[in-house]
Amino acid sequence: MNRPGRILVIGATGFLGRGLTESGSEMVPAAREPEDATGWVRVDLEDSPTVERALDEVDPAWVVNTAAVTSVDGCEKDPALARRIHVDAVSKLAQACGERRIRLLQLSTNYVFDGEAGPYGEEDEAHPLSVYGRTKLEGEAVALSECEACVVRTAVLFGFQSGVRPNFVTWALSALQEGESIQVVTDEWANPTWLPDLVTSIRGLTEKGATGVVHVAGRDYLTRYEMVEALCDVFGLRSDLVKPVRSADLGQAARRPLRAGLRTDCVDRLLGSIGAPYRQHLETMKAAGTSG
Ligand SMILES: NC(=O)c1ccc[n+]([C@@H]2O[C@H](COP(=O)([O-])OP(=O)(O)OC[C@H]3O[C@@H](n4cnc5c(N)ncnc54)[C@H](OP(=O)(O)O)[C@@H]3O)[C@@H](O)[C@H]2O)c1
Protein backbone atom coordinates (compact mmCIF):
# COMPACT_ATOMS: atom_id res chain seq x y z
CA MET A 1 0.00 0.00 0.00
CA ASN A 2 1.25 3.49 -0.82
CA ARG A 3 1.43 5.61 2.32
CA PRO A 4 2.29 9.29 2.69
CA GLY A 5 5.41 10.07 4.65
CA ARG A 6 9.05 10.94 4.41
CA ILE A 7 11.17 10.27 1.34
CA LEU A 8 14.80 9.26 1.85
CA VAL A 9 16.92 10.68 -0.99
CA ILE A 10 20.11 8.64 -1.51
CA GLY A 11 22.84 10.50 -3.41
CA ALA A 12 21.69 13.86 -2.02
CA THR A 13 24.98 15.57 -2.92
CA GLY A 14 24.37 14.92 -6.64
CA PHE A 15 22.53 16.99 -9.26
CA LEU A 16 19.12 15.29 -8.95
CA GLY A 17 19.65 14.54 -5.25
CA ARG A 18 20.07 18.23 -4.46
CA GLY A 19 17.08 19.20 -6.59
CA LEU A 20 14.88 16.66 -4.81
CA THR A 21 16.16 17.59 -1.36
CA GLU A 22 15.30 21.26 -1.94
CA SER A 23 11.81 20.44 -3.22
CA GLY A 24 10.03 19.81 0.08
CA SER A 25 10.32 19.22 3.80
CA GLU A 26 9.36 15.53 3.50
CA MET A 27 12.67 14.89 1.69
CA VAL A 28 15.41 13.51 3.97
CA PRO A 29 18.85 13.84 2.35
CA ALA A 30 21.23 10.89 2.63
CA ALA A 31 24.84 10.88 1.45
CA ARG A 32 28.20 9.27 2.00
CA GLU A 33 29.31 12.51 3.62
CA PRO A 34 26.35 14.28 5.22
CA GLU A 35 26.62 18.05 4.94
CA ASP A 36 24.66 18.88 8.05
CA ALA A 37 24.64 16.89 11.28
CA THR A 38 20.94 17.44 11.98
CA GLY A 39 18.92 17.15 8.75
CA TRP A 40 21.13 14.68 6.85
CA VAL A 41 21.72 10.97 7.36
CA ARG A 42 24.75 8.94 6.38
CA VAL A 43 24.27 6.33 3.68
CA ASP A 44 27.10 4.69 1.78
CA LEU A 45 25.54 2.21 -0.61
CA GLU A 46 28.64 0.03 -0.34
CA ASP A 47 28.21 -0.18 3.43
CA SER A 48 24.95 -2.07 4.07
CA PRO A 49 24.68 -1.29 7.81
CA THR A 50 24.49 2.45 6.98
CA VAL A 51 21.59 1.70 4.62
CA GLU A 52 19.69 -0.42 7.15
CA ARG A 53 20.28 2.05 9.97
CA ALA A 54 18.97 4.95 7.83
CA LEU A 55 15.83 3.00 6.87
CA ASP A 56 15.14 2.12 10.51
CA GLU A 57 15.80 5.62 11.83
CA VAL A 58 13.96 7.59 9.14
CA ASP A 59 11.22 5.01 8.45
CA PRO A 60 10.42 6.60 5.07
CA ALA A 61 7.44 5.76 2.89
CA TRP A 62 9.76 5.84 -0.11
CA VAL A 63 13.47 5.73 -0.88
CA VAL A 64 14.57 7.54 -4.04
CA ASN A 65 17.95 6.19 -5.12
CA THR A 66 19.69 8.78 -7.30
CA ALA A 67 23.20 7.52 -6.48
CA ALA A 68 25.20 6.24 -9.42
CA VAL A 69 28.56 6.29 -11.16
CA THR A 70 27.43 8.79 -13.78
CA SER A 71 30.66 8.99 -15.77
CA VAL A 72 29.73 6.74 -18.69
CA ASP A 73 33.37 6.47 -19.79
CA GLY A 74 34.46 6.00 -16.16
CA CYS A 75 32.21 2.92 -15.94
CA GLU A 76 33.93 1.45 -19.02
CA LYS A 77 37.28 1.90 -17.27
CA ASP A 78 36.11 0.55 -13.89
CA PRO A 79 33.32 -1.97 -14.58
CA ALA A 80 33.72 -3.53 -11.12
CA LEU A 81 32.80 -0.22 -9.43
CA ALA A 82 29.85 0.24 -11.81
CA ARG A 83 28.59 -3.25 -10.91
CA ARG A 84 29.01 -2.69 -7.16
CA ILE A 85 27.01 0.58 -7.18
CA HIS A 86 24.46 -0.09 -9.94
CA VAL A 87 23.70 -3.76 -9.25
CA ASP A 88 25.03 -5.17 -5.95
CA ALA A 89 24.21 -2.09 -3.87
CA VAL A 90 20.76 -1.69 -5.46
CA SER A 91 20.03 -5.35 -4.76
CA LYS A 92 20.88 -4.94 -1.05
CA LEU A 93 18.97 -1.65 -0.86
CA ALA A 94 15.91 -3.21 -2.51
CA GLN A 95 16.03 -6.22 -0.16
CA ALA A 96 16.23 -3.91 2.86
CA CYS A 97 13.29 -1.87 1.50
CA GLY A 98 11.28 -5.03 0.81
CA GLU A 99 11.80 -6.36 4.34
CA ARG A 100 10.47 -3.08 5.75
CA ARG A 101 7.64 -2.57 3.21
CA ILE A 102 9.28 0.65 2.02
CA ARG A 103 8.85 1.53 -1.66
CA LEU A 104 11.88 2.21 -3.85
CA LEU A 105 12.11 4.65 -6.75
CA GLN A 106 15.26 3.71 -8.66
CA LEU A 107 16.72 6.10 -11.25
CA SER A 108 17.81 4.70 -14.60
CA THR A 109 18.71 5.92 -18.05
CA ASN A 110 17.91 5.93 -21.77
CA TYR A 111 21.39 4.36 -22.18
CA VAL A 112 19.75 0.97 -21.53
CA PHE A 113 18.79 1.17 -25.25
CA ASP A 114 21.08 0.78 -28.25
CA GLY A 115 19.92 3.91 -30.05
CA GLU A 116 18.94 2.16 -33.28
CA ALA A 117 15.29 3.27 -33.14
CA GLY A 118 14.59 5.83 -30.42
CA PRO A 119 12.80 7.53 -28.84
CA TYR A 120 11.82 4.44 -26.85
CA GLY A 121 8.71 3.46 -24.92
CA GLU A 122 8.69 1.45 -21.70
CA GLU A 123 7.79 -1.76 -23.56
CA ASP A 124 10.67 -1.54 -26.04
CA GLU A 125 13.42 -4.07 -25.66
CA ALA A 126 16.54 -2.78 -23.93
CA HIS A 127 19.93 -3.52 -25.46
CA PRO A 128 22.69 -1.49 -23.81
CA LEU A 129 25.97 -0.68 -25.57
CA SER A 130 28.07 0.24 -22.53
CA VAL A 131 28.99 -0.96 -19.04
CA TYR A 132 27.00 1.99 -17.66
CA GLY A 133 23.87 0.98 -19.60
CA ARG A 134 24.24 -2.75 -18.88
CA THR A 135 24.73 -2.31 -15.14
CA LYS A 136 21.90 0.23 -14.86
CA LEU A 137 19.61 -2.24 -16.66
CA GLU A 138 20.60 -5.02 -14.24
CA GLY A 139 19.95 -2.61 -11.38
CA GLU A 140 16.42 -2.04 -12.69
CA ALA A 141 15.75 -5.77 -12.65
CA VAL A 142 16.98 -6.30 -9.09
CA ALA A 143 15.00 -3.29 -7.82
CA LEU A 144 11.80 -4.57 -9.43
CA SER A 145 12.27 -8.14 -8.19
CA GLU A 146 13.27 -7.44 -4.56
CA CYS A 147 10.64 -4.89 -3.47
CA GLU A 148 7.76 -2.72 -4.61
CA ALA A 149 9.64 -0.46 -6.96
CA CYS A 150 9.24 2.20 -9.62
CA VAL A 151 12.11 2.52 -12.09
CA VAL A 152 12.34 6.00 -13.62
CA ARG A 153 14.43 6.21 -16.79
CA THR A 154 15.50 9.69 -17.83
CA ALA A 155 17.87 11.44 -20.26
CA VAL A 156 20.32 14.41 -20.46
CA LEU A 157 19.45 16.31 -17.29
CA PHE A 158 20.06 20.05 -17.39
CA GLY A 159 19.48 23.16 -15.31
CA PHE A 160 21.28 25.27 -12.74
CA GLN A 161 22.02 23.68 -9.37
CA SER A 162 24.75 24.97 -7.10
CA GLY A 163 27.37 22.66 -5.62
CA VAL A 164 27.29 20.00 -8.32
CA ARG A 165 29.34 19.07 -11.37
CA PRO A 166 28.40 20.76 -14.68
CA ASN A 167 25.71 19.13 -16.82
CA PHE A 168 25.82 19.08 -20.64
CA VAL A 169 24.08 22.45 -21.01
CA THR A 170 25.99 24.30 -18.26
CA TRP A 171 29.28 22.82 -19.55
CA ALA A 172 28.58 24.19 -23.05
CA LEU A 173 27.34 27.50 -21.65
CA SER A 174 30.45 28.09 -19.49
CA ALA A 175 32.85 27.16 -22.28
CA LEU A 176 31.15 29.38 -24.85
CA GLN A 177 30.87 32.28 -22.41
CA GLU A 178 34.64 31.97 -21.87
CA GLY A 179 35.13 32.10 -25.65
CA GLU A 180 36.35 28.49 -25.81
CA SER A 181 35.70 26.33 -28.85
CA ILE A 182 33.83 23.07 -28.17
CA GLN A 183 33.20 19.90 -30.15
CA VAL A 184 29.56 18.80 -30.13
CA VAL A 185 28.11 15.66 -31.68
CA THR A 186 25.63 15.93 -34.52
CA ASP A 187 24.42 12.32 -34.51
CA GLU A 188 23.31 11.68 -30.89
CA TRP A 189 19.60 12.33 -30.27
CA ALA A 190 17.82 12.47 -26.91
CA ASN A 191 15.26 14.56 -25.08
CA PRO A 192 16.97 17.03 -22.73
CA THR A 193 15.22 16.98 -19.36
CA TRP A 194 14.81 20.07 -17.18
CA LEU A 195 15.78 19.03 -13.65
CA PRO A 196 12.79 20.72 -11.90
CA ASP A 197 10.42 18.82 -14.25
CA LEU A 198 12.02 15.51 -13.25
CA VAL A 199 11.72 16.47 -9.58
CA THR A 200 8.01 17.32 -10.06
CA SER A 201 7.43 14.02 -11.86
CA ILE A 202 9.21 11.97 -9.19
CA ARG A 203 7.08 13.63 -6.51
CA GLY A 204 3.96 12.91 -8.56
CA LEU A 205 4.93 9.26 -9.11
CA THR A 206 5.51 8.68 -5.40
CA GLU A 207 2.18 10.36 -4.54
CA LYS A 208 0.38 8.10 -7.03
CA GLY A 209 2.20 5.00 -5.80
CA ALA A 210 3.49 4.20 -9.28
CA THR A 211 5.22 0.87 -9.86
CA GLY A 212 7.12 -0.64 -12.78
CA VAL A 213 9.18 1.19 -15.40
CA VAL A 214 8.25 4.80 -16.24
CA HIS A 215 10.01 7.10 -18.73
CA VAL A 216 10.40 10.76 -17.71
CA ALA A 217 12.11 13.11 -20.17
CA GLY A 218 11.80 16.49 -21.87
CA ARG A 219 9.37 17.27 -24.70
CA ASP A 220 11.84 17.97 -27.51
CA TYR A 221 13.86 15.34 -29.35
CA LEU A 222 17.14 16.95 -30.41
CA THR A 223 20.74 16.20 -31.28
CA ARG A 224 23.38 17.46 -28.86
CA TYR A 225 24.39 19.91 -31.61
CA GLU A 226 20.84 21.25 -31.86
CA MET A 227 20.74 21.64 -28.06
CA VAL A 228 23.85 23.84 -28.23
CA GLU A 229 22.60 25.76 -31.29
CA ALA A 230 19.49 26.75 -29.31
CA LEU A 231 21.70 27.68 -26.35
CA CYS A 232 23.76 30.03 -28.58
CA ASP A 233 20.59 31.55 -29.92
CA VAL A 234 18.96 32.18 -26.53
CA PHE A 235 22.12 33.39 -24.75
CA GLY A 236 23.52 35.30 -27.74
CA LEU A 237 26.70 33.19 -27.86
CA ARG A 238 29.09 32.65 -30.79
CA SER A 239 27.89 29.58 -32.70
CA ASP A 240 31.11 29.51 -34.79
CA LEU A 241 32.86 28.20 -31.63
CA VAL A 242 30.70 25.04 -31.80
CA LYS A 243 32.47 22.45 -33.95
CA PRO A 244 30.28 19.63 -35.28
CA VAL A 245 31.68 16.13 -34.81
CA ARG A 246 30.37 12.59 -35.22
CA SER A 247 30.03 10.46 -32.11
CA ALA A 248 32.40 7.79 -33.49
CA ASP A 249 35.11 10.41 -34.09
CA LEU A 250 35.28 11.56 -30.45
CA GLY A 251 37.24 8.48 -29.32
CA GLN A 252 35.22 8.05 -26.11
CA ALA A 253 35.73 4.87 -24.08
CA ALA A 254 32.00 4.00 -24.05
CA ARG A 255 29.82 3.73 -27.16
CA ARG A 256 26.78 6.03 -27.01
CA PRO A 257 23.32 5.12 -28.31
CA LEU A 258 22.71 7.46 -31.26
CA ARG A 259 18.91 7.62 -31.65
CA ALA A 260 18.29 7.30 -27.92
CA GLY A 261 15.72 9.31 -25.96
CA LEU A 262 12.44 8.31 -24.37
CA ARG A 263 8.73 8.41 -25.13
CA THR A 264 6.71 9.73 -22.20
CA ASP A 265 3.08 8.80 -23.03
CA CYS A 266 2.82 6.73 -19.85
CA VAL A 267 3.88 9.48 -17.41
CA ASP A 268 1.83 12.04 -19.36
CA ARG A 269 -1.25 9.86 -18.82
CA LEU A 270 -0.45 9.39 -15.14
CA LEU A 271 0.51 12.94 -14.20
CA GLY A 272 -0.56 15.13 -17.11
CA SER A 273 2.00 16.83 -19.34
CA ILE A 274 4.69 18.42 -17.12
CA GLY A 275 7.18 20.98 -18.35
CA ALA A 276 7.82 23.27 -21.26
CA PRO A 277 9.76 23.10 -24.51
CA TYR A 278 13.58 23.00 -24.22
CA ARG A 279 14.01 26.53 -25.53
CA GLN A 280 11.63 27.93 -22.93
CA HIS A 281 13.72 26.33 -20.17
CA LEU A 282 16.82 27.98 -21.65
CA GLU A 283 14.99 31.32 -21.47
CA THR A 284 14.27 30.57 -17.79
CA MET A 285 17.96 29.84 -17.20
CA LYS A 286 18.90 33.10 -18.91
CA ALA A 287 16.44 35.06 -16.79
CA ALA A 288 17.80 33.37 -13.62
CA GLY A 289 21.38 34.45 -14.43
CA THR A 290 24.37 32.31 -15.25
CA SER A 291 24.97 31.03 -11.73
CA GLY A 292 21.38 30.01 -11.10
N1 LIG B 1 22.65 13.32 -15.30
C2 LIG B 1 22.03 12.82 -16.38
O3 LIG B 1 22.04 13.40 -17.47
C4 LIG B 1 21.31 11.50 -16.26
C5 LIG B 1 20.72 10.96 -17.41
C6 LIG B 1 20.04 9.73 -17.31
C7 LIG B 1 19.95 9.08 -16.08
N8 LIG B 1 20.56 9.64 -14.99
C9 LIG B 1 20.46 8.92 -13.71
O10 LIG B 1 19.90 9.81 -12.75
C11 LIG B 1 20.48 9.60 -11.47
C12 LIG B 1 20.98 10.91 -10.90
O13 LIG B 1 22.00 11.44 -11.74
P14 LIG B 1 22.83 12.75 -11.32
O15 LIG B 1 23.23 13.44 -12.56
O16 LIG B 1 22.10 13.48 -10.26
O17 LIG B 1 24.13 12.08 -10.67
P18 LIG B 1 25.38 12.78 -9.96
O19 LIG B 1 25.21 14.27 -9.92
O20 LIG B 1 26.62 12.24 -10.59
O21 LIG B 1 25.27 12.25 -8.47
C22 LIG B 1 25.50 10.91 -8.17
C23 LIG B 1 25.51 10.79 -6.67
O24 LIG B 1 25.74 9.41 -6.34
C25 LIG B 1 26.44 9.44 -5.13
N26 LIG B 1 27.09 8.16 -4.85
C27 LIG B 1 28.01 7.51 -5.60
N28 LIG B 1 28.41 6.39 -4.97
C29 LIG B 1 27.72 6.34 -3.79
C30 LIG B 1 27.70 5.43 -2.70
N31 LIG B 1 28.49 4.36 -2.65
N32 LIG B 1 26.84 5.67 -1.68
C33 LIG B 1 26.05 6.76 -1.68
N34 LIG B 1 26.05 7.67 -2.67
C35 LIG B 1 26.88 7.47 -3.71
C36 LIG B 1 27.44 10.57 -5.28
O37 LIG B 1 27.85 10.94 -3.99
P38 LIG B 1 29.29 11.62 -3.66
O39 LIG B 1 29.03 13.10 -3.66
O40 LIG B 1 29.60 11.08 -2.30
O41 LIG B 1 30.24 11.15 -4.70
C42 LIG B 1 26.56 11.61 -5.96
O43 LIG B 1 25.92 12.43 -5.01
C44 LIG B 1 21.54 8.52 -11.65
O45 LIG B 1 21.00 7.28 -11.28
C46 LIG B 1 21.81 8.51 -13.15
O47 LIG B 1 22.21 7.23 -13.60
C48 LIG B 1 21.23 10.83 -15.04
> By alpha-carbon position, which residue is closest to atom 24 of ligand 1?
67
- Cα distances from 144 to residues 40, 64, 187, 229, 260, in angstroms, run 27, 14, 33, 39, 23
Domain presence at residue 244:
no
Which domain, by its residues, includes 136? Answer: 7-161+193-219+260-275
Output 145 or 290, whichever has higher pLDDT. 145
Q: 68 C-alpha to center of ligand 1: Å?
A: 4
Domain presence at residue 213:
yes
Domain presence at residue 88:
yes
The pLDDT of residue 108 = 99
Q: Which residue, 141, 137, 118, is CA-closest to 126? A: 137
User: What is the tally of structural domains in the chain?
Assistant: 1
Domain presence at residue 96:
yes
The pLDDT of residue 1 = 66
Instruction: Answer for the pair 61, 5: CB distance below 8 angstroms, yes or no.
Output: yes
pTM: 0.97
Report the CATH number that the domain containing residue 88 is assigned in CATH: 3.40.50.720
Convert the pLDDT of each residue in 157-208 to its tens digit: 999 998 999 999 999 999 999 999 999 999 999 999 999 999 999 999 999 9
Share of the chain above pLDDT 90, in %: 95
Distance separating alpha carbons of residues 37 and 234, to the nearest angstrom: 41
Q: 239 C-alpha to center of ligand 1: Å?
A: 31
Distance separating alpha carbons of residues 261 and 255, to the nearest angstrom: 15
Q: 11 C-alpha to center of ligand 1: Å?
A: 6
Domain presence at residue 173:
no
Domain presence at residue 82:
yes
Instruction: Answer for the pair 110, 205: CB distance below 8 angstroms, yes or no.
Output: no
